[in-house]
Structure 1
Amino acid sequence: MVRITTLASSHLLSSRLYSASELAVGSLLLLGLGSLLPTLTVTALNWGLAFGTYAFISLFVLIFWSGGALGWANRITLLRAVLVALVAGALADNVFTHSIWLWLVTATTALMLDGVDGWIARKTQSYSTFGARFDMELDALLILLLCVGLIQLESLGLWVLLIGVMRYLFVVASWHFTWLSAPLFASIRRKVVCVWQVSALLLALTPLTPTLVASLLAFSALLSLAYSFGIDTWWLYQQRRR
């Protein structure tokens, strides 16, 4: 029994080390891309925030993934994480406002890769609960970062942050109301709302969009998100009663 436990611990440690090595490659990719996009990494603070964001994401991977090699689908998601880290880093000192189009292209690329990792997972039959969670958490983080950027760029008010923090408020609420953490049914609605949130925020952030239109776009994202969460919360409540 002791031998089996030792072997299991050794296997887990080797799996963690393998995952850590892939995450280290991702950090080198972040360094390379950041060097190629110097207008997004102007100051040490930009670099620090970018690597801090990537370190936080890496910690999430090490905690929840124990399968050794990440696989190609999760590697694409890790590439998305690198791009999201660059988006985060450029928010420091409002650097992104001086290179807004490049910043938006970086964020849009991270959004477009959202469909690629899922496609690869289906093609290689490597779909996993972790992969879906990894993907979802990156989407939530990207939306939050875009909300922060919109507040800094357009000064629309802190209400815009509700778009980015609503998911996190839902998670915190589930700690007390445990029925909120029950599995949800598959829904195209959630995917459509998620895509619209990011699309609306990206459109609102473009220099071509007037402040009033940016406000309306952000408000539409907030309304659609509140509607989607409302439906899911009501369904979970009904399941609890049953």
Structure 2
Amino acid sequence: MPSKRKRESDSEESSSGSEEVMPTSDNPWVQLPPPDRACLVDTSSFSVLFPKYREPYLSKVWKDVQKLMDKYGISAELDLVAGSMSVSTTGKVKDPYAIINARDMMRLLSRSVPVVAAVAVMEDGISADVIKISGFTSSRERFVKRRQRLIGPNGSTLKAIEILTNCYVFIQGKTVAAVGPLKGLRQVRRIAEDCMKNIHPVYAIKKLMIMRELEKRPELANESWEKYLPFKK
């Protein structure tokens, strides 16, 4: 008659033999799915309307847009009758977030952002923001005057904002379109909205310049910078 220790040993061997082997790259007996296999099980699509005046430009560059979208497994369609741009996923998609980036690129194109600038949103770490600036004042004359402050003489103010925020900024009609890192986009939104609230962007520009210099001083990394910033809201 087998001993109790013998039976326990047999039961341990049988239980260990029935354990499920998890698929890992270190196990040569487990077949992993190919890395280039499509990762979506359903189709996602977005449609963005564009104004009539954008029709000639979009018709001219749309073939380039389609070639670019095809690299990410995205199908792009231009409907001149309905005045819309549509993007949808295909079986070639590898990055599920590519369709969101494609949607943002269509939004930028509809707001007169050129393709060479809008294409940056397809890169990792780059996002887009379209800021509405029309609801801050009821006076048309006041709106135009404050919007011009964002641009500045010969575009100098807008250029300074782009340099300090690392963003591409384009002002068209009642919106401000920006492309860049999230930190810079938040700064652009605040500057644009504050400007429409009658706070001149020169104050934000000077503040960003001071903060850029403070970032170069590691001894101030754990200190409050409030005493170094002369302009407080």
TM-score, normalising length: structure 1: 0.31
Structure (1 or 2) with the larger CA radius of gyration: 2
| Structure with higher RCO (Cα < 8 A, 6+ apart) | 1
- TM-score, scaled to structure 2: 0.32
Greater fraction helix = 1
